[in-house]
Amino acid sequence: MVNISSIWVVGYLCTALGFSIGGIIAWILKGFQKRIDTVYSICAGLILGLISFEIAPEAIELGNWFTFILGFLIGVTLFKVIHKSFMIQRVLPENKEKRNPLYTGAMLMLSISLHNLPIGITLGSNQDSTLSFSILQTIFLHNVPEGIIVFTPLFIAGLGIWTLIFFSLIVALPVGVGAYFGNFLGIDSPVFWSVFISLSIGMIYMVTVKEILTDSIKDSKSTKVFFLALFGFGVIGVYFAFI
């Protein structure tokens, strides 16, 4: 059983551990990253699968189709605003080969962090220790593919293994903070969190289409990109079917 009073610590650790394992897998597969079009195509499929099988159903279940569409459109708009931000463009390296993967990884990390906050709130607000344990299992398992997705472009950009530890701790913060305040204040507004999760979906979708798939198609044939993305989509579908 999970101690409800310390649920925020456990939630934080489960998120960081799952995300780190995903990063380690991405690091092990680093040798394949020379074929960036192949890696990006498969990653795009993984991300779209993650949205389709895990995050979108969660958002619709918390609210409805209206809250999902509203949040999605807000996320798309927010992505466009950030995309055009002068400050973000300034901090990126001059080398385009490193800039694009770094920007992609940073945007994915931001989107997933936003998605993690309502998950933390839901975890902390729940007073059923058995259900909380089930939520913790889900958090851990679904952060593994998210870690692979985020760290693949970051490693392509040339960031080292220490980045894995630092970013894993950062991405896990919204779960820990959300669970703490959810437990302390008893915050639980399904409709609001439906919009919030849908917002993160909109951002993740735009990053996938504008940054990952676009780069893949530039460097490869569209049919190859399609089938590799379909493969990634199928892999994530099988993954969630068995967890």
Query: Kindly report the CA angle at 154 between 148 and 156, in degrees rounded to 5?
Result: 100
Exposure string (b/e) for 96-107, b if CB count within 10 Å is 16 or more?
A: eeeebbbbbbbb
pLDDT tens-digit series, residues 141-167: 778 877 887 888 888 788 887 888 889
pLDDT at position 126, please? 61
Are 72 and 202 contacting, i.e. CB atoms less than 8 angstroms apart?
Answer: yes
Between CA 93 and CA 105 the distance in angstroms is 14
Residues of the chain with pLDDT under 50: 1, 86-93, 96-97
Residue with tokens 């913790």: 136
Between CA 201 and CA 59 the distance in angstroms is 9
- Is pTM beyond 0.75 here? no
Q: What is the DSSP letter of 84?
A: T
Give the domain ranges of the chain. Answer: 4-28+35-241
Tokens of 143: 């952060």
Between CA 140 and CA 20 the distance in angstroms is 10
What is the H or E stretch that residue 179 is in? helix 161-185
pLDDT at position 66, please? 95
pLDDT at position 159, please? 83
Tokens of 72: 């999605």
pLDDT at position 31, please? 65
Residue of 156, 160, 164 whose CA lies nearest to 216: 156
